[in-house]
Structure 1
Amino acid sequence: MKIGVISDIHIDSNKKVVPEGSTFAEILGNQLNQQQIELLLLAGDISSDYLLSQQFIDELKSQTKCRILFVPGNHDYWSRKNGEEDTNKIYQFFKAKPESVLERPYIINDEWAVVGNSGWYDYGYADGEQYTEEDFDRMKYRVGAWNDKYYVHWNEGNQAVAQWMMDKIEEDMKAVGDRKVILMTHVAMHPQFVIPLPHRIYDYFNAFLGSSSYEWLYTKYPIKYSIMGHVHFRKIVRDEERTYITACLGNKKHWGKKDLEAEIKRTMVTFEIE
């Protein structure tokens, strides 16, 4: 089976680079078809509104026969246009969709399964000596704010949400038995996938890039691929146990050139399993 990985496509902020007469879904679908991808792992941040994100998935399904699996990113939980203020309802909205692996592992075969959840940030990758938990809870620093502060409403603290999502991941890990696991989260859960410290800005803002408390999952479960997003860079790291991947399309301002299809082709990572 040939598997493709991509995340952080941000179709709303990247809409100006979509050629006239085409759609983002058509362009991504064309790449899936050309590369003969059988399973797409879409690791979050399709857009900054949950209904627009789901509409994109529905359109993409009409462009390809490729199976699509998805975990929402932090932006997918936003509702800037539709006014939903209860993020838990958005979580349940996505959970009910057939493409979602929220609390629903996807069994590929007797050997392999996909387990996934958005994951949330626990502040663990920031400088905890320079800043306090209360500093991070404010989600605001002198250079600006982390915008989930305004658009995400779990009605409990970030660390509690991170723990809740980790518990869901572990439940799903147990459910797939001894199969080899492709784990898909939106947030980073490996120190090589956040910004190296010290850093003038990310000493603080690394708090919102991932969860160091998730790392223990690697030691307990047979995770062979760890798919992440969120960080807006592209990186592959391999060790003796597994392969770690971020394949973030990111914002057009980060691209070397502005051709959307070429950039998708450069971004998407593929691998094969039997």
Structure 2
Amino acid sequence: MTKKRRLAVISDFHMDSNHFSQEEIDIFLSLLKDLKITDLHFAGDISNDFHGISEPFFKQIELLTELSVTYNLGNHDMVGLSEEEISVSNFQVKNFASTAFVSFHGWYDYSFMTGKIDIKKIIAFKNSFYFDRKIHRQFDDIKITNLELQKLEKLLTELSANPKIDRIIVSTHFVPHQQFIINTRYEKFSRFNAYLGSQHFHETFKKFPKISDVVFGHLHQRRLPLTFDKVLYHAHPLGYPYEWQMINHFLEEYPQYQIAVNWHLRKRYNAIRKSSDWLKFRKAHLWEEFQSALTIFDLDD
């Protein structure tokens, strides 16, 4: 009898920014147990301190459960890491019978920007205001992305040529398809599209028919699975509390907390975050939020 494995992928856990208590971590681990998850993969942005927070968290999970834990890095994880440390966990392959699970970090090359691209402006804005100014990479963004693409194509070519592999599932952090990008006429917001990912990742994926699924995060918006060129894309990032789906449910149940600018996610969250009603609701429904951020695959061992 073939042994079954259940792989769960979650991105943008942001453990420190979300201030998860041990009780809330226990809720997450209990959910994984209830769902009979055997393998857990973090698709980047686990925390802002990889060695100080993320690695001890992985060890805690493996100590408290029987889960096998793997990960690829996002931009938040790379703060304080050298290029060598970043590369250690890049392009990993985990085999589940005839399925290869490939994880790699990804990066961005500004190609999601609409209109005329001014490279100098993009770099200047990044170095002055964007989070990634805290990351010190060995090469510029476009070269890093090109190197990622070269290594990705080489690995996928090798795996596709292996007759023992029938299916390839990919996990990355950055956005690999332009259909997930929100285009806006406001330059203030559209400039952030430069740092989201690259369409070139999809152009690489579609060359390999064995790729069935790609899971990614970075853009904190949960979408229904979408198929492009026979590749099924999954985007279910956990994100920050002010972005969580449960806030809509909370405001439906407690309409007295609605504010005039209810469309402003941060302001509506700040209006409820310390209320006893919200804290009770968050505790009761956190498992649902975790579950909606999981992408699950049933695989053979």
TM-score by length of 2: 0.77
Q: Where is the helix percentage greater, Structure 1 or Structure 2?
A: 2
Q: For 2:29 and 2:58, locate their aligned partners in 1 and report how far apart those are by CA, in whole Å.
A: 10
Shift of 1:197: 3.9
Q: Which has the larger radius of gyration?
A: 2
> Is residue 161 from structure 1 mapped to residue 144 from structure 2 by the alignment?
yes
Q: For 2:186 and 2:230, locate their aligned partners in 1 and report how far apart those are by CA, in whole Å.
A: 30
CA RMSD, Structure 1 to Structure 2 (Å): 2.2
Percent identical pairs in the alignment equals 26
> Is residue 225 from structure 1 mapped to residue 251 from structure 2 by the alignment?
no
> Is residue 272 from structure 1 mapped to residue 290 from structure 2 by the alignment?
no
Contact 2:206 2:229 in 1 (8 A): no
Aligned residue in 1 for 2:132: 148
Structure 2 residues without counterparts, runs of 5 or longer: 248-281
Shift of 1:89: 3.4
Shift of 1:240: 6.4
5 Å-filtered alignment, 1:123-134, equals: 123-129=110-116, 131-134=117-120
> Is residue 71 from structure 1 mapped to residue 90 from structure 2 by the alignment?
no
The residue identity in structure 1 corresponding to 2:242 is K
Aligned residue in 1 for 2:41: 41
Structure 1 residues without counterparts, runs of 5 or longer: 80-85
1:252 to 219, 241, 245: 241
| Alpha carbons of structure 1 residues 136 and 200: separation in structure 2 relative to 1, 3 Å | closer
Contact 2:236 2:292 in 1 (8 A): no
Shift of 1:218: 2.2
Deviations along 1:68-112, whole A, 9 cap, x unmatched?
221011100113xxxxxx5313314xx2xxxx4x23311222x21
1:241 to 230, 245, 248: 230
Contact 1:137 1:158 in 2 (8 A): no
Aligned residue in 2 for 1:114: 101
Q: For 2:290 and 2:153, locate their aligned partners in 1 and report how far apart those are by CA, in whole Å.
A: 32
Shift of 1:198: 3.7
The residue identity in structure 2 corresponding to 1:264 is F
Shift of 1:273: 3.7
> Is residue 57 from structure 1 mapped to residue 52 from structure 2 by the alignment?
no
The residue identity in structure 2 corresponding to 1:40 is L
> Is residue 31 from structure 1 mapped to residue 31 from structure 2 by the alignment?
yes
Moved more, 65-74 or 234-243: 234-243
Deviations along 1:22-52, whole A, 9 cap, x unmatched?
263x332222111001222310000011212
| Alpha carbons of structure 1 residues 176 and 161: separation in structure 2 relative to 1, 3 Å | same
Contact 2:99 2:169 in 1 (8 A): yes
Q: For 1:218 and 1:125, locate their aligned partners in 2 and report how far apart those are by CA, in whole Å.
A: 17
Q: For 2:41 and 2:115, locate their aligned partners in 1 and report how far apart those are by CA, in whole Å.
A: 33
Q: How many residues align?
A: 252
1:87 to 68, 82, 85: 82
Q: For 1:189 and 1:202, locate their aligned partners in 2 and report how far apart those are by CA, in whole Å.
A: 19
Contact 1:44 1:118 in 2 (8 A): yes
TM-score by length of 1: 0.84
